[in-house]
Structure formats: C-alpha cells, structure tokens
Chain A
Amino acid sequence: MSITVTEKAARHIQKTLDKRGKGVGLRLAVKTSGCSGMAYALEFADESQPEDLIFESGGVKLLVDPRSLPYLEGTELDFVREGLNEGFKFNNPNAKAECGCGESFAV
C-alpha cells in the first residue's frame, strides 16, 4: 500500500513548491482532533525526519510520520474545485465516518 496524489494534485503541488522556492516535498499527517476524532494536516516540508516514510507520486515527495501512516495508508490526495473554492481533498479508504465539514474523520 502507499500514498498517492492525483495528476491534478501533483501539478498544483509542484507549482506551489516552485513558487515558494524551497522545500523537499509535502508532509501529510493525521492529528487527533476534530469532531470525528482525527484531522488531516497538510504542510510544506523543508526537511525530512529520520523516521519519516517517503512516498513518491506524480513526481512529488510525500513525507509521512510513522504514527500517521496507519491512518493514511492507501490515501489518494486530490486537488478539486468546489464552487468558488479550490483545495486538497483526501480520499482515504481508512476513514469510516467524516464529520459534516469533512475536516476530521474517524477510522
């Protein structure tokens, strides 16, 4: 199993990384919070940690800490437009329930 990004997401990540001018990739994490128990975090990564697991997808490096990995395994990161908003969306096979706003989920 692994973590992947869609083509659209990869393009967008690459673009924002280029614009930012630095960073080794993207960090995906899961934090315990939110109304369904867990919440995603999406950050630029300036350096990788020794314990990080690194996935490559669509030419983008994805860094995941081992604590978050079980909750993210198999996840696909997509970039979508909804109405006036654009942003990232996690397609996570582990998520059983999402809160109404989708900011947090439960496994």
Chain B
Amino acid sequence: MALLQIAEPGLAAAPHQHRLAVGIDLGTTNSLVATVASGMARALADDAGHILLPSVVRYGETEMIVGREARAGQADDPLNTIASVKRLMGRSLADADAGMRSHYRLSDGPGMVGIETRAGRKTPVEVSADILRSLRERAEASLGGELTGVVITVPAYFDDAQRQATKDAARLAGLNVLRLLNEPTAAAIAYGLDNAAEGIYAVYDLGGGTFDISILKLTRGVFEVLATNGDPALGGDDFDHLLADWLKAQASLPDDMPVEDRRRLLALARSVKESLSELELTVATCSFSNNVSIQVPVSRATFSELTADLVARSLRPVRKALRDANLGAEDIKGVVMVGGSTRMPHVQAAVEKLFGSAPLNNLDPDQVVALGAAMQADVLAGNRKSGSEADWLLLDVCPLSLGLETMGGLVEKIVPRNSTIPTARAQDFTTYKDGQTAMSVHVVQGEREIVSECRSLARFTLRGIPPMVAGAARIRVTFQIDADGLLSVTAREQTSGVEAHVEVKPSYGLGDGEVARMLLDAYGTGEIDAATRMLREAQVEARRLIDATEAALAADGAALLAPPERDVVQKAIYALAELLETDEGDTRKIRAATDALNAASGDFAARRMDASIKRALAGRSLETL
C-alpha cells in the first residue's frame, strides 16, 4: 500500500499518472474495445483491422476460437459454437431464453445454466470471459502494456444477477472492473462530450439481442438519466428469425431441418436484412444439405412489412419511459441512435415519426457505446486533470424498485424505480411485539405492492435487539446501491447498535421476460394492489391491537378492571379475532371491529396510563420534576 504525504493546498497528486484504461462493449452480437488516447476516444482494431469482435466462441477439439472465425464455422459445428451468450448471463435453466434452448444443450448447474460443449460444461460467465480475454489481449498488444482497469457496459435492464455475472466474467478474464455502465448512458457520454450538447435526449439502442431506451438530461457535462425502459428480448436477432421463417415458407423448406441448415438459414436472413438497409431489392441465395438450394427475391418493402410489429414493439417502452420522466415526445431535443439494428430504414422512420424530428446519426452506432465507456474509464483511472473531472459527475438509475417485506406480506418500497444511483436510502422500522429480539428482513425487487408478486432478492435476520415494548425499538434499514447497480442492505437497531448486513449476492435467476412482466403487471394492477394493501394493513393493525390489549390485560387487568369490565374488553377481542380467522378479507368489517375494540378498551387504557404515572411519581417530590 502506497503511503501518502501531505501536499500543499490544491497540489495533492492524482494517483496513477499514466494508466491504461479501456471501455468494453460486451454485446450480444458484437463486442469491441476502445480507449482514450491524447484526449480522443477511439476503437481498437485487431491485427486484420476489424473493430467488431463477433461475440461467438467455438470450443474446438484442441483449441478455442473467438470472434469472426468462430462465427464463420458456426454452421459446421453449431453445438460447440456459442453465440448470443449474453442472453444467458445470470440465468438459470428454468428461465433461459427459448431460442438459446433450441440451439444448445443447456444444463442446470449451481447458480446458473451451463452449456454442454466438447470442452465440457461452460457457464455463460466462462464464455463471456473468453470474449473479454480476447479483447484484453487485443488492447494490451495495441497499447503496449497491462490494463489497469476497464469499464464494461451492460443493458440498462440488467438486474443484479446479470450485473454480477458480468463482473465475474471480467474477473475471470483478469480484468479489473472500474465500474459497469449502462449502455445508453455510455452512448450519451460519447455523444454529449463530443458535441457539448445540452438539453433532454433519448437514446434508442436496438442491438442484436436487447432494446434499451433512456431519457437523459445533459447539462454542462453532467449526465442525469431521467428514466430507462426497454425490452430485454428484442433485437436484430428477432428480425433475422422472422425473415428466416418467411424465407423457409417461400422456398418450401422442411420444418425439421438439421441444426446446420437452420444456422445457414439464419445467417442468410441476417445478410439479406443488412443489405436491405442499403438496397431496395436483393435475392436471398443459399445452398443447404442434400443439394437443396434456394433463390428468393426480397424487397425492402416486404421486409419492412414483415417486421413492422417488431418495430412497433420497441415504441411501447419508449412511451413508457417518457411517461416515467413526465415528458412528452416534444420535450426531447434529439434521439441518439445506437446499435447496428438502427441502420434499418423503417426503424429510423418509426423513431422519426414518434418524436417528430430526424434521429441523430452522426456517431457510429456500432462504436458509440464502447467510446463512451472508454471516456468513463479514462476518468475513473485518474488520467484526467482534476478540475475537469470534478464537474464530470454521472448519474444513473435503478430499473426496478427495491423494498422490504413488512407485516402482512406488503412491500415497503425503499428505493423507487428510476432513482439515481449510486444511492443510499434509509427507513426506520420498529418491533411489532413486546420483547421482540429479532427481526427478519426480506429484500424484494419489483413494482407490485404484494411481496409474493415481487422478486425475492435476499433474507437476513437482525438478532440481539434489546427487549422493549412493541414500537419502542428503532431499526434503521439502509439500502445502498453502488455505482454498478449492486445492492447492499444493512439493518441497525439504533439504541443498542446491533447490526446485520447482506450484500445482495443475487440468486441468479430473474427471467428476461420477467423484468418486463414485473413492470407491465405493475401498471395493470395498481387498483387491486391498493385494495389488497388496505386489507392487509387493516389485518395487521387489528392483530397488533389484539396483542397489545391481551398483554395489557395480563399485566394490569386484574388490578384495574372489575370482572364485568374485563368481560367487555375480552368479548371485543374475540369478535375481532374471529373476524381475522374466518379469513373473509372484508376491510370494512375488520376496521369496524378494530374500532369497537379500541372503544371497549379506552377506559382501561386511560386507567393504565394513570397508574403508570402514579408509579413513576411515587417517591419523588414536586421540585425534582
């Protein structure tokens, strides 16, 4: 550990004067690495001059191949050639992407799905690490030194499990992750810094596998993400699949084609799709096994019509993000287009129509994310002179609300969705029963008000709370989300200082569709949730009153109440308890019975108060009060 010396005012040296730092866009389809040299961000090419590294890994008999060559051999060895592995990051077998399931031999494993290959079982983390290692070697060869740190981008929609998996992959590849950065935010960094643009922008990122929309506010070099949304299962691949199905029908190809032919057909569909971004008409030509070959003319108009629904699907999250940010399309100064799929003319047209202005295209849609990541890496590595870095603050948001389970299975939201991160938020809770010495903390993620409808992230128990009457303990629960979007939760009893803590080492497993579903659900069911919430609250309140009254009766009932008085209170308790047990779920009735018990025990409560004041005053003179 380096020891520090005291410097003269304003002269504390920035550490690490010359550090090699890079940004990596680890894409579903393509990955690339960029760095800042002499103040300019630029993507690094491999020996052959290629910048994009196809995110494909082939596990061969003797060696492993990454990138272009692996992709070229995909049709020959489909089961051992892993593409689009990003779709499996942080997933269990149960929620693995259906397309991936049909292409690979997936198996369940501890924590995460595995892919059976010739080289053995590979987890998505290992496959991603192989891609990252290849980029690391490229960067180190081209920069002539060891990398100090990297910034890796992830879709805004990645949950904790997916982010953790990405970090794990980087560690496995021997990379030091300075931070993870949301892809659209990285694009905005590249855009904002290059153009010194101010105002509110949208970043529309349609890549190979995922779609992200972010609404960002840029002011004097400060980025604030106002809202994010997206569809984690929408991208260029889906366009390929639709076109492939259409080609198959046109050419009357059989449904049960061998895996190699299906791969060939997909590759054909992709190249047809890409050329239709330039041409009005092309002919799809390909030969398959058993001497079958096809030749199908495809026009841009046909393709646009075929895939219009996919384009429309991307506009829904855009509208939602605008709503979340309380903005209309007219408030958006410009739309930044990111991702190779935004080259499709009908995507451009749809975005232009929605926003009423031509989208911004002056950055290379393939590189913009990596360039932004490189700029951020440069800052984090301390390569910028202080002053400029001080104004360079980046705000990001968390995509789903985080909260705690409270009594009755309700969710108390602590960090609302779209809160800027890093963040720390605290809320005080108390004990529910007299003498309660432990409290269990259940951390959940999602938009619904009912625990069972949200995703369970972690549970832990705070023990050693000093026994006190119900409601006297003050337990502060703090949620802290770091700059990578990873969560840690601490519960601390304030008077005694006892503390318990959990790092959300997320249980890999929130399905891609599930994030979207959890968001969608929250919109449709607000009212039902509110009703359920009121019912649960009434039930909790009722139970608490019963417990408190019973405890009071046990303590002072005999001393302070005559038997008939005692009966009245007891009856009101029974009436309320019965109502709770029949599980009828009538909020009004429960509230009425609760009020009745309150009324019946009102006198008793007053007498107890008097008695306890008398006890407290006993033996003290007026002066000491």
Chain A residues packing against B (C-beta within 8 Å): 13, 16, 26-27, 29, 31-37, 39-46, 70, 80, 82, 85-90, 98-99, 101-104, 106-107
State in angstroms the CA–CA spacing of A86 and B12 once bound together: 17
* CB proximity of B23 to chain A, nearest CB, Å: 14
Question: Are B3 and A88 closer than 8 Å at their CB atoms?
Answer: yes
Which listed residue, B1, B7, B21, B178, touches A41 by the CB 8 Å rule?
B7
Residues of the A chain whose Cβ atoms lie less than 8 Å from the Cβ of B389: 31-33
- Is there a chain A Cβ closer than 8 Å to B27's Cβ? no
In the complex, residue of chain B having the shortest beta-carbon distance to the beta carbon of A77: B4
- Is there a chain A Cβ closer than 8 Å to B15's Cβ? yes
Residues of the A chain whose Cβ atoms lie less than 8 Å from the Cβ of B91: none
Question: Are A101 and B2 closer than 8 Å at their CB atoms?
Answer: yes
- Is there a chain A Cβ closer than 8 Å to B14's Cβ? yes
Question: Are A41 and B12 closer than 8 Å at their CB atoms?
Answer: yes
State in angstroms the CA–CA spacing of A27 and B6 once bound together: 9
State in angstroms the CA–CA spacing of A107 and B16 once bound together: 19
Which listed residue, B1, B3, B6, B379, touches A43 by the CB 8 Å rule?
B6
Q: A27-B9, A34-B16, A99-B176 are in contact. Are A87 and B4 (CB under 8 A)?
A: yes
Q: Which secondary structure dominates chain B's binding surface?
A: loop
Residues of the B chain whose Cβ atoms lie less than 8 Å from the Cβ of A35: 16, 19, 21, 148-149, 176, 178, 380-382
Q: A44-B8, A45-B9 are in contact. Are A39 and B15 (CB under 8 A)?
A: yes
Q: A33-B386, A34-B15 are in contact. Are A89 and B8 (CB under 8 A)?
A: no
The residue in B15, B149, B389 that gathers the most chain A C-beta atoms within 10 A of its C-beta is: B15
Chain B residues packing against A (C-beta within 8 Å): 1-12, 14-16, 19, 21, 148-149, 176, 178-179, 379-382, 384, 386, 389-390, 392, 424, 482-483
Question: Are B6 and A104 closer than 8 Å at their CB atoms?
Answer: no
The residue in A70, A85, A101, A104 that gathers the most chain B C-beta atoms within 10 A of its C-beta is: A104
State in angstroms the CA–CA spacing of A45 and B21 once bound together: 33
State in angstroms the CA–CA spacing of A43 and B424 once bound together: 28
* CB proximity of B110 to chain A, nearest CB, Å: 25
Give 8 closest A-B pairs by Cβ, nearest first. Answer: A87-B3, A102-B1, A33-B382, A41-B12, A103-B15, A88-B4, A35-B149, A34-B15
Question: Are B4 and A40 closer than 8 Å at their CB atoms?
Answer: yes
Question: Are A34 and B3 closer than 8 Å at their CB atoms?
Answer: no
State in angstroms the CA–CA spacing of A90 and B2 once bound together: 11
* CB proximity of A21 to chain B, nearest CB, Å: 13
Residues of the B chain whose Cβ atoms lie less than 8 Å from the Cβ of A107: 482
* CB proximity of A51 to chain B, nearest CB, Å: 15
State in angstroms the CA–CA spacing of A13 and B4 once bound together: 12
Q: Could you give 11 example pairs across A and B, Cβ below 8 Å?
A: A26-B6, A34-B15, A35-B382, A37-B178, A42-B6, A42-B7, A70-B424, A87-B3, A87-B5, A98-B1, A107-B482
